[in-house]
Structure 1
């Protein structure tokens, strides 16, 4: 796999744990300077202390002013060449109980968080000889799932944004793609397993199997598998790959 440029600076939102942490570590392992953003400073500092990132800053991606300021601070240290918009959240409810507030929360974090991050990073990225934007969406951006209509709508919006923006940026050195993991072995999915256990009385093993059955390989995806896909998209050899929504899901899509 082509390596990423060693002089590059990557910023990963939601980079303190799960998929974001794995992505940060993978990029740092290729010699990139990595800044992680998130809402919990302690978790972010743990990533820095472990060598999975070099800098950390606190910002909620749903807060446009906060994310703009945080990305500006990161760019002052070193211009940003790679943006991984990974931060996200999931809430489940039947559509009849999914009120406007739930839809707003899911859109604010999962879609507008991507919009705010790209708006903040893109102007300076346009001045660089190389740029990569990767949005971590979900298989929920490519298909429907019951009881997560708001989350699914937000992830579909991310994929649509990627496809449109890729065309606007096609005459620049910047590519933009979405990576769409299936159910992945993270804290977020652990929360979903807890929810299934609470609502159905199933054991943890049974609840985990309920999610894993969506994957034809019969398992949860690993964060490292998602990170490896992001790493490839950030490499020089992926310069012709843009506007894509790549499923990392064991054949589910």
Structure 2
């Protein structure tokens, strides 16, 4: 039993691939009507064709006007009860080679994208009898990693935002939490594996092991494991859980 309210409407940004797609799939299987938002129309359409969602909107979370319009149309179709701010991106570089443009990109997508998403949906959500906001951060929001300082800074900002917003909304029916996955078996991590291979000359198995070694369980996290955590936070049984950053990382944090 998911404990979702009847006829709940869930909106998931970055919902056409990886963790976002699995979250959308889990919410839909639990009975929610699901809208996914993303930049790529083809992957959004593929996710809907695969039964992961009911509706879609094309928008970049870094484009506040486009995102606000997309969320407004989704809410007009059906008021939003569950908001999952999942969209993100990662770039790596040594700090001394991480210029202002790289930091802006990471902040615009990973942090301001969350800000834009919540600001667009929250006013109407506060007036509803049930609300759940889940921000998909990262273990990078709880600790440091070398060579991804801009990404780590942005994810720390997401966790800080979540904690502040949870307190602001504690007297309402809206809870606010963050899920912090470790290295997860997604396209994003596949790109990191490619980078390791290109820079070190290692094979794919060795490069994947370099990331998996951060997890005490010695493996990559499965997207479904992250989705299951989000689904629980969205249920009625988690009504007293707010302001929490939950690591899904095999004991890394």
**Which residue is 1:137 aligned to?**
137
CA distance in 1, matches of 2:2, 2:189: 31
- What is the number of residues matched between the two proteins? 253
**Which residue is 1:96 aligned to?**
96
CA distance in 1, matches of 2:74, 2:47: 16
**Which residue is 1:50 aligned to?**
50
Deviations along 1:187-220, one digit per CA (max 9) or x if unpaired, are: 0000000000000000000000000000000000
Deviations along 1:172-193, one digit per CA (max 9) or x if unpaired, are: 0000000000000000000000
Deviations along 1:19-46, one digit per CA (max 9) or x if unpaired, are: 0000000000011000000000110011
2:24 paired with 1:10: no
In the TM superposition, structure 1's runs of 4+ consecutive aligned residues that sit over 3 Å from their partners are: none
Unaligned runs of 5+ in 1: none
Unaligned runs of 5+ in 2: none
CA distance in 2, matches of 1:216, 1:63: 38
What is the CA-CA distance between 1:51 and the residue it aligns to? Answer: 1.1
What is the CA-CA distance between 1:6 and the residue it aligns to? Answer: 2.6
CA distance in 1, matches of 2:14, 2:46: 13
What is the CA-CA distance between 1:127 and the residue it aligns to? Answer: 1.3
CA distance in 2, matches of 1:148, 1:160: 18
**Which residue is 1:168 aligned to?**
168
CA distance in 2, matches of 1:58, 1:134: 21
**Which residue is 1:180 aligned to?**
180
Q: How does 1:1-253 map to 2 (within 5 A)?
A: 2-253=2-253
Relative to the length of structure 1, the TM-score reads: 0.99
